[in-house]
């Protein structure tokens, strides 16, 4: 069962055990793993990671690290595809509240499967969507 959807930075910070991941976020991820559940991430996160590597903002090995973790079958993280249902749900995510397209897709993904978003993004947190941070 997917317990939450993590945004791109939460995924990266989890992969690297980065201290920027909040205690609440860490606890949510650890609890999901302990219960045999999963934390989802939108497929757009993979694309966003490529972009962040190209911009020099994250470790060049971040994408390979995530893909390798998923291939082991032991990762708490699971990819959620961007589907027509997610696209339909995006119409309910205010562009004024969350102007960044990847963030809107991540928000719509969480809304589609009715789980909170693990994110420190201020725009997501004040949008009225349920967040964990």
- What CATH number corresponds to the domain at position 112? 3.40.50.1010
CA 80 to centroid of chain Cα atoms: 10
Asked whether residue 96 is domain-assigned, the answer is yes
Instruction: Give the integer Cα–Cα distance in Å for 57 and 91.
Output: 30
**Residue 51 resides in a domain:** yes
| Contact criterion met (CB below 8 Å) for 124 and 131 | yes
Q: How confident is the model at residue 3 (pLDDT cuts 50, 70, 90)?
A: very high
In a domain, 41, yes or no: yes
Per the structure, the complete domain to which residue 65 belongs is given by 2-122
Q: For the chain, how many structural domains are there in total?
A: 1
Residue 130 in domain: no
Residue 129 lies in a domain: no
Please write the tens of the pLDDT for every residue from 63-117.
Answer: 999 999 999 888 999 999 999 999 999 999 999 999 999 999 999 999 999 999 9
Residue 127 resides in a domain: no
What is this structure's pTM? 0.95
Helix (H) or strand (E) holding 77: strand 77-80
């Amino acid at each position: 069962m997917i317990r939450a959807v993590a945004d791109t930075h939460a995924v990266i910070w989890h992969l690297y055990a980065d201290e920027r991941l909040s205690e609440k976020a860490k606890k949510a991820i650890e609890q999901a793993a302990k219960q045999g559940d999963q934390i989802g991430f939108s497929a757009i996160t993979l694309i966003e990671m490529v972009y962040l590597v190209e911009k020099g903002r994250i470790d060049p090995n971040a994408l390979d690290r995530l893909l390798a973790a998923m291939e082991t079958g032991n990762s708490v993280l699971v990819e959620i595809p961007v589907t027509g249902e997610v696209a339909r749900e995006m119409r309910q995510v205010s562009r004024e509240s969350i102007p960044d397209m990847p963030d809107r897709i991540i928000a719509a993904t969480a809304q589609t499967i009715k789980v909170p978003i693990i994110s420190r993004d201020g725009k997501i947190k004040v949008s009225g969507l349920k967040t964990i941070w």
